[in-house]
Amino acid sequence: MFQEPVLPVHTVPAFTDNYIWLIESAQCRQALIVDPGEAEPVLTALQDAQLTPNAILITHHHADHTGGIEALNHHYDIPVYGPHSEQIKGVTHPIFAGCLIQRDGFPPIYVLDTGGHTPGHISYLIDQKLFCGDTLFAGGCGRLLGGTAPQLFASLMALKSLPDSTRVYCAHEYTEANLAFAQTVEPENTALQQRLIYTRRQRAAGQPTVPSSLAEEKATNPFLRCDEPAVMAAVSEKTGAQLTSPEAVFTALRQWKDNFRSS
């Protein structure tokens, strides 16, 4: 059976812990740029890989995801897609959740509503690869910076419904700290214990821990496990209230993480 070629994805580190993603076409020497917080590392990566940019995809308005748009537009005349409900300088194609982006040389790009970190946050799904900005992290999720807990919970549940094989390309290297918190919540989770050990080895070797798989997140990320008895019990004990709703568990869990300091 014929299979579509896999799209290579290039990791472009930026600032201290950001990741910018270059999605390379399987058909031509072009790339989609996801969340360019700064331009210089993108320009260098494009030159090193001998790629020409095709378009820019923005998940939300924060500067560490948008700061490179203007400089990149000085070099390349390409469209910039971003959420219609957020004010982002340089966006030429405001888009809605449910939109389908078609770019020559690339599979269809599905736009998902993943508000909560910011109210208008969107994510992009292409070739079973999820580019989710600051909504879902490896081992965690984004803070509430303008959005609401019910909104973010709904977004995470929608992402959880994607196939287990989905690759998760988040925008920050927060995995080790996220898993340290997760282990506080679920100390008996053996999959989590093993993932934390492996993650610490990766970081000690200077390797990125992203992307992860959605199956891995479902097994170890407490924010996708708010219906699990162990998570519900831990959060109920922390709050001193018997929480039975996964959304209520999520809300309290996010507050717990906001104040968490690892030892």
The tokens describing 226, both together, are 């708010």
Closest CA to 127 of 55, 254, 47, 32: 32
Residue 93 annotated to the active site: no
Task: List beta partners, residue 110.
Answer: 100, 125
134 is in an annotated binding site: yes
176: closest CA among 137, 142, 144? 137
Helices (H), the chain: 40-49, 63-66, 69-75, 149-160, 175-185, 190-204, 214-220, 229-239, 246-258
Is position 121 annotated as part of the catalytic site? no
Catalytically annotated residue among 35, 61, 113, 172: 172
Give every CB contact of residue 59 below 8 A, 6+ residues apart in sequence: 34, 35, 65, 82, 83, 114, 121, 122, 123, 124, 131, 132, 133, 134, 135, 171
Question: 17 catalytic, yes or no?
Answer: no
Active-site entry in 35, 61, 62, 121: 62
What is the Cβ-side half-sphere exposure of residue 256, based on CA atoms within 13 angstroms?
24
Residue 60 annotated in ligand binding: yes
Per annotation, catalytic residue among 60, 61, 113, 121: 60
| 172 in a known ligand binding site | yes
Whether 60 sits among the annotated catalytic residues: the reply is yes
Decide: helix, strand or coil at residue 71: helix
Catalytic residue, chosen from 35, 61, 113, 117, is 117
Backbone angles phi, psi at 133, to 5 degrees: 50, -120
Catalytic residue, chosen from 35, 61, 113, 134, is 134
Treating both helix axes as pointing N-terminal to C-terminal, what angle do 246-258 and 175-185 enclose, rounded to 10 degrees? 120
Q: Exactly one of 61, 64, 113, 121 is catalytic; which is it?
A: 64
Catalytic residue among 35, 61, 65, 121: 65
84 in active site: no
Question: Does the CA dihedral 99-124-120-41 come out positive or negative?
Answer: negative
62 labeled binding residue = yes
Summarize the annotated binding site as residue ranges. Answer: 60, 62, 64-65, 117, 134, 172
Active site residues: 60, 62, 64-65, 117, 134, 172
Summarize the annotated binding site for Zn(2+) as residue ranges. Answer: 60, 62, 64-65, 117, 134, 172
